[in-house]
Amino acid sequence: MSIEQVPPKHYPKVEFGRRGLALGIDFLCVWIVSSLLGSSQLGVQIVQILVFAIGWGILRIIVPYNNQGQSLGRYAFDIKVLELERGKIPDMQSLLKREGIVGLSALLVSVALSNILRNPTAILLLIPLAIDCGAALSDTQQRQALHDRYAKTMVVSSHRGYSLDIKVKRLVEKGRRNMRQ
């Protein structure tokens, strides 16, 4: 009896721009809601942080777990999260690991944005997110960020979604054609 090696299934890779825009949409949704509860006082707002953490958990853990690996931003750009080995929707524990890391980095970005005018050195709070997501640039095969490697997940293209990037490209092209005429 011989052991037959099965090649891993090929999934379409997602461009970094689409991944960044999807993360940006999710971040903006959660940040706007948490910012509405903040005040104009100096320092870090505990209520704002709690609302951000709860909103991030709902939008990036519970929604993808129940929606084929897609959050609002991922749905807008036709991408989803899968487990690396099985190619299926990640379980709740994997999503908690993954989003715990990227959520903490996003929370630091939120704090930086809230305090950037009063304290310009708050820009340094962007470094953890840049390091985490920048790791995907060095991984030419799987394009995994550090949070993906830790949780053993990957981001792939999906056939199900809103295709916001494609619709914007079509609108821009149509506008260019109208300008030429």
77-127 pLDDT per residue, tens: 999 999 988 889 999 999 999 999 999 999 999 989 888 888 899 999 999
Which residue is it, tokens 């519970």? 62
Q: Determine contact, residues 64/70, Cβ cutoff 8 Å.
A: yes
| Neighbouring residues of 103: CB distance < 8 A, sequence distance ≥ 6 | 53, 56, 57, 60
**Does residue 82 lie in a domain region?**
yes
**Does residue 135 lie in a domain region?**
yes
pLDDT of residue 152: 93
pLDDT of residue 78: 92
The values of phi and psi at residue 4, to 5°, are -95, 130
Signed CA dihedral, 163, 138, 144, 131: sign only? negative
The values of phi and psi at residue 42, to 5°, are -70, 155
**Does residue 10 lie in a domain region?**
no
1-59 pLDDT per residue, tens: 556 554 557 778 899 999 999 999 999 999 999 888 766 665 567 888 999 999 999 99
Distance CA 90, CA 81 (A): 7
**Does residue 140 lie in a domain region?**
yes
Longest dimension (CA), the chain: 72
**Does residue 45 lie in a domain region?**
yes
**Does residue 6 lie in a domain region?**
no
The domain tally of the chain equals 1
CA distances from 180 to 21, 170, 177 (A): 29, 15, 5
Paired strand residues for 13: 156
Distance CA 119, CA 80 (A): 36
Range of the domain at 51: 16-172
Which residue is it, tokens 């830790």? 150
Distance CA 59, CA 26 (A): 7
153-176 pLDDT per residue, tens: 999 999 888 888 888 889 999 999
Q: How far apart are the two ends of the chain, measured CA to CA in Å?
A: 70
pLDDT of residue 43: 58
CA geometry: angle at 153 spanning 150 and 157, to 5°?
A: 145
**Does residue 5 lie in a domain region?**
no
Confidence check: pLDDT of 66 > 90: yes
Q: For the whole model, what pTM was predicted? A: 0.86
pLDDT of residue 159: 87
**Does residue 1 lie in a domain region?**
no
Q: Determine contact, residues 44/51, Cβ cutoff 8 Å.
A: no
